[in-house]
């Protein structure tokens, strides 16, 4: 029996989606339960998935087996001291927060839980934290995504997809977006409503709230996927791999978990400065064959990363 714990606060959050996809995959081989650790759990997620809240009064609690915490932890709660001891304790870290890492490693003696096994979601994260742990890329059902259908009537379109929160957008991207629009490029940003006060209205600028379209629907409308964040650093960057699964050339800032899987100029592009990003986007706009070739390699990359054999090996880690 496996119990997956997450805050389940955001239908578009990376750790939330990771927990739900892991639940789908593991359920084929084991009895798997979803538990919300946050008091502000998303009503939408509670409606659509079998997520439960821990309730001591109703004795609706995890009852042993393997406990897997994804992007959350159990500290300052009473229920861990009262329920059956887990056979295994696994923490899946998708952040850089040292406080959570420290809490996880310092196990109260009276709890008598097993030592935590650490799972990280990228080699980039492991290098940054300088710790040992098993690296498992966040699982993605790449069959939901298919290469873009060519539409000659649309202008060349650059876009990005993310949550619309603090740190998700880089301040220097405003000037880049203005330049792209001035040069005739269409710009579509889902998770970009916070940019409305920074970008002047333009007939080829579309800003959508998170969830306006599914990821697979939205990505189908782009020619190039562009991604850079502000102070928020992506330990993995799920949306980048979803774009690659759609056969899109991705143009990404070089600082993030996705960068380990992008070979510059072959299956995507990495940049350091805004000027470099602008040149790459200009080259892609001018060369459809380049976009097609890089997009094909991008799709092949995610097919290897999430192949049945690779997924089987990762799932067996939880099932053993």
- pLDDT tens track for 73-87: 776 678 888 889 999
In a 10 Å sphere around its CB, with 0-12 CB exposed, 13-18 middle and 19+ buried, how is residue 80 labelled?
A: middle
Distance of CA 63 to the CA centre of its chain: 29
Radius of gyration of the chain, Cα coordinates, nearest whole angstrom:
21
Query: Rounded to whole angstroms, how far apart are CA atoms 243 and 247?
Result: 7
Query: Once rounded to an integer, what is the mean pLDDT over residues 217-223?
Result: 94
pLDDT of residue 148 exceeding 80, the answer is no
| Least confident range of 68-77, 273-282, 309-318 | 68-77
Higher pLDDT, 185 or 131: 185
Query: Rounded to whole angstroms, how far apart are CA atoms 50 and 279?
Result: 47
Fold classified for 143-304: Rossmann fold (3.40.50)
Q: Where are the alpha helices (DSSP H) in 88-172?
A: 98-105, 123-129
Query: Once rounded to an integer, what is the mean pLDDT over residues 38-62?
Result: 91
> Which of 121, 117, 138 lies closest to 129, judged by CA?
121
pLDDT of residue 109 exceeding 80, the answer is no
pLDDT of residue 240 exceeding 80, the answer is yes
> Which of 167, 139, 275, 288 lies closest to 224, judged by CA?
288
| Least confident range of 35-49, 175-189, 248-262 | 35-49
In a 10 Å sphere around its CB, with 0-12 CB exposed, 13-18 middle and 19+ buried, how is residue 319 labelled?
A: exposed
* Segments of the chain assigned E as strands: 2-6, 32-36, 51-53, 66-70, 88-93, 116-120, 134-135, 157-161, 186-190, 205-208, 224-227, 250-253, 269-271
Query: Once rounded to an integer, what is the mean pLDDT over residues 276-297?
Result: 97
Query: Once rounded to an integer, what is the mean pLDDT over residues 273-299?
Result: 97
């Amino acid at each position: 029996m496996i119990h997956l714990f997450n805050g389940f606060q955001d239908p578009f959050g990376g750790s939330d989606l990771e927990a739900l996809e892991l639940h789908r995959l593991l359920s084929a081989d084991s009895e798997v339960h979803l538990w919300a650790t946050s008091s502000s759990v998303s009503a939408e997620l509670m409606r659509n998935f079998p997520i439960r809240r821990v309730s001591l009064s109703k004795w609706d609690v995890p009852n042993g087996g393997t406990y897997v915490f994804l992007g959350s932890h159990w500290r300052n709660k009473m229920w861990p001291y009262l329920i059956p001891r887990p056979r295994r304790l696994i923490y899946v870290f998708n952040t850089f927060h040292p406080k959570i890492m420290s809490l996880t490693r310092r196990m109260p003696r009276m709890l008598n839980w097993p030592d935590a096994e650490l799972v990280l979601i990228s080699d980039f994260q492991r290098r940054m934290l300088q710790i040992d742990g098993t690296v498992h890329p966040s699982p993605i059902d790449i069959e939901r995504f298919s290469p873009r259908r060519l539409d000659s009537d649309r202008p060349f379109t650059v876009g990005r997809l993310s949550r619309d929160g603090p740190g998700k957008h880089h301040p220097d991207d405003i000037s880049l977006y203005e330049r792209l629009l001035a040069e005739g490029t269409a710009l579509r940003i889902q998770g970009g409503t916070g940019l409305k006060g920074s970008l002047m209205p333009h007939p080829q600028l579309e800003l959508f709230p998170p969830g306006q379209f599914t990821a697979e629907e939205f990505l189908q409308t782009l020619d190039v996927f562009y991604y850079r964040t502000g102070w928020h650093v992506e330990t993995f960057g799920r949306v980048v791999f979803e774009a690659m699964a759609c056969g899109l050339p991705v143009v990404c800032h070089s600082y993030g978990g996705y960068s380990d899987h992008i070979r510059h100029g072959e299956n995507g592009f990495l940049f350091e400065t805004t000027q470099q990003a602008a040149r790459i986007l200009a080259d892609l706009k001018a060369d459809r064959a380049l976009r097609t070739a890089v997009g094909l390699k991008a799709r092949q990359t995610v097919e290897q990363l999430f192949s049945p054999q690779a997924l089987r090996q990762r799932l067996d880690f939880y099932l053993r």
